[in-house]
Chains A and B, each alone.
Chain A
Amino acid sequence: MNVPDDLRYNTSHEWVRLEGDVVTVGITDHAQEELTDVVFVELPPVGKEVDAEDPVAVVESVKAASDIYAPISGEIVEANEGVEADPALVNTDPYAEGWIFKMKVKDVAQVEAMLDAAGYKALLGG
């Protein structure tokens, strides 16, 4: 299971990458493997203000629809049209080309409070 060291994670299996005051958000390798065969991604509207834990996007496999939650509070500043056009990127490249949206961070402490790689690995059971 791929859990990059430079990312932060939450218990609902989203990851974030903090760069300046913007985080990129996606779902983890574990999450994509659980879903398998992503066939549709519903992106959040750019400009929307959301709170941490709000459902903001939907990732769908053949069998089921899964909500993706905002890991922190802030404004959606970008959505990845690449995964809208090619949803399989979420499976094949979950930490890079398969990112889902970007948020402007209000409070960096919210990011720091998320799990680090070791904490997320522990959540997955080693």
Chain B
Amino acid sequence: MTGSQVPRVSEPLQHSPLEPLHVELGGRMVPFAGWNMPVMYDSILNEHQAVRGSVGIFDISHMGQFIVKGEGALEWLNRMLANNLAKLADGQGQYSFMLNEQGGVIDDLIVYRTGANEFFLVVNASMIPEDFTWLEKQRPDGVELLDESESWAGMAVQGPDSAAAFAKLFPDEPLPPRNGIARLSGGQIVCRTGYTGEDGFEFFCPSADGITAFKQFCDAGAKPCGLGARDSLRLEMCYPLNGSDLSPARTPIEAGLGFFVDLEKGDFVGRDVLARQKEEGLKERLVAIAYTGKGAPPRAHYQVLSESGEVLGELSSGVPSPSLGKGIGLAYLPVAYAKIGTKVQVDVRGRPFPAEVVKKPFYKPAAKNS
């Protein structure tokens, strides 16, 4: 038996402040986005179900945190990002994109407003240097840009019982509402956001306190979960993964994420291309594809075929969905094949498995708390 293996990396891996705990908990460490991270502890399926059914906890210390503040911060950041920051009141967050001049995605991120002219950005691990350089290059005088990624340990506590776990640790502090951010009396940051579709929060504390906090959330009922479950959970929700489903060559409009772009707010980097795409229409669109029967698990880079066998594109992500019990994936397909109900096939090692274009997301969580 041999596995399809983790690619070798030439650069030394970065280490989460929680790494010793992952090893102690039996986490299987793999390189991800330049970091040594747990892909799972005992079982991706069990970890996935813990988040859907009760509560799980993920190390997200690899993700980056930037602070943008100062006179003019709102105006400037609103030109650098595609969503409209002016819609945020203090303490609110939104999903957004950093685009290149061609409208392609440099990074997707969540930006929280923490003051009239103060913002907290959470960006992808692999993009920290590139995002920072891109922003710094265009930063006007009077606006401060700080990379605090090294200072914070991060953990995402996700699942219907996440609020109860929080209350056990912080009985006197309220969780912020959905998409909100709050600073706790102890200085930690808590955001009511996540990457699983379940209620949950992301918790940031000083790196040195990370292991203790992670353990306390575990004691409060959260099951440690690795990147494997994180991927299957996010894909069931059709949440994109930058580098797989998003790229500098694809716009958020093509990715079907136009909801998070505000073309009316005034100019921003990449706007012209997006506006033109909206007006002229798209050639390809990121669609959700689900198997119609049993089949070999779909995975990234497998070809998507028409019913007659013509190659239409390839999967940008794919997984055997634990919640649905069938293969699911995302693919950029010609718009003629992007309509819901369109029959397609996924080519797995030369065998085509029948699938169809379905409505996003694949999975709808049972209840949503606010």
Contacts and interface: CB of A to CB of B under 8 A. Distances in A.
Interface stretch (B38-46, B60-68, B126-134, B207-215): B38-46
| Interface size grouping (class) on chain A | 20 to 34
Contact of B3 (A37, A39, A40, A66): A66
A40 B299 contact: no
A58 interface: yes
B8 interface: no
A40 to B, nearest CB: 5
A37 B322 CA distance: 10
A78 interface: no
A63 B48 CA distance: 12
Residue picked from A37, A63, A69, most chain B C-beta under 10 Å: A63
Contacts of A34: 3
Given A62-B228, A63-B39, A65-B299, A31 B1 contact: yes
B115 to A, nearest CB: 41
Contact of B45 (A42, A58, A62): A62
Given A36-B44, A37-B44, A64 B4 contact: yes
21 contacts: A31-B1, A34-B3, A36-B42, A37-B43, A37-B45, A39-B45, A40-B296, A42-B349, A59-B1, A60-B296, A60-B297, A62-B228, A62-B322, A63-B40, A63-B228, A64-B4, A65-B3, A65-B297, A65-B299, A69-B1, A69-B2
Given A59-B1, A65-B299, A66-B4, 9 more contacts: A12-B2, A14-B1, A36-B42, A42-B296, A58-B296, A60-B320, A62-B45, A63-B39, A64-B4
